[in-house]
Every structure is written in structure tokens, then in C-alpha cells.
Amino acid sequence: MSSAASFISRMGEHATHLVRTLHARDPVTNQPAVTWDAVGDFDCGNFDCDDFECADCISIMVKTTSSREMDLPAGRVTEERLRIYTMAEIAHQDRVLYHGKTYEIETAPIEHYLSGSIRYRDATLVKVS
């Protein structure tokens, strides 16, 4: 494992990866229902981790990028964004549980190849709850 990938795996934090799935369309709006489910990535990357409770766990490195507040007629909205770096196969609009909060992957993840087989991704997340 390259030094960068190894660094992400061993020095980062853990989060839970929730994969987005589209379901049947609503009979009124015709929009599909959406769920986010933990599917078992087995990708936390820690050499000594074989804990089954860790099935949906991914290793991430996190950088807080922005936080701002807006006033809407119904109340104040706090918008928080993170940038994460991970070796897991995250996808646009998947979700990540991190420190008890839910974040949605707002941008298509950018893949960085460190070698033919080792790569990591980075993406911007926005807090949804």
C-alpha cells in the first residue's frame, strides 16, 4: 500500500457509508422513492480490523470546508460542508454517517490513482441532519 493510502487507512477516522437506492415511482408525483442503506463495505482498510460490526465502516480523512447561516421565512438554516478522503467506493448522492450526523455526498467523487490498483477518492459532503 502506498504511503498516502496507508495514511488514510491508519490515521483517519471511521464513518458509516449508506448507499442510495431508487425505488418505485410515487403514483401522484411519479418521482422515485429514495432510501439510503448500509450494505457492508468491508472497506475500513485497517489491517487489524476483522470486526463484523465494522461491516459498513469506511475510513475517512475529513476537512471542514465551510459553514454558513441563511435566514429563510420559516427559520434559520445552517449549511455545513466537509471534504472527505477515502478509499471506499462512495458515489454521488450516497450518504455518510459521521459523528452521529448525516451528510450527503454533494459532488461526484474524484478518483486519484496512486498506482494501477490503489486509489482514493475525495468528495464534498453537505450536512443533511
Partner 1 sequence: MAATDPKTTIFDGVVANLGVITKDDGATAASVLHVWEGGPETLKYLFFSAPAPGPYDVVITYGSPRSRSARPIQDKPVHYLMSYPIAVSTTDKRSADALVCTATRMQYKITYALRQAVAAFAQSGAGATPAYTLSVQSDITTYKRVGGLEIYETTHVVEYETDYG
C-alpha cell at 118: 490503489
- As measured in angstroms, the least distance from the Cβ of 83 to partner 1 is 21
Q: Are 88 and 16 in contact (CB under 8 A)?
A: no
Quick one: 34 or 77, whose CB is closer to partner 1?
A: 34
Binding letters toward partner 1, positions 76-95, x by CB under 8 A: -----------------x--
Quick one: 10 or 25, whose CB is closer to partner 1?
A: 25
Q: Which residues contact 55 (CB under 8 A, 6 or more apart)?
A: 38, 40, 41, 42
Q: How far is CA 42 from CA 58, 80, 98, in A?
A: 8, 28, 17
128 part of the interface to partner 1, by CB under 8 A:
no
Q: Which of residues 53-72 bind partner 1 (CB under 8 A)?
A: none
129 part of the interface to partner 1, by CB under 8 A:
no
Q: Are 13 and 98 in contact (CB under 8 A)?
A: yes
Site of interaction with partner 1 (CB under 8 A): 22, 25, 28-32, 34, 93
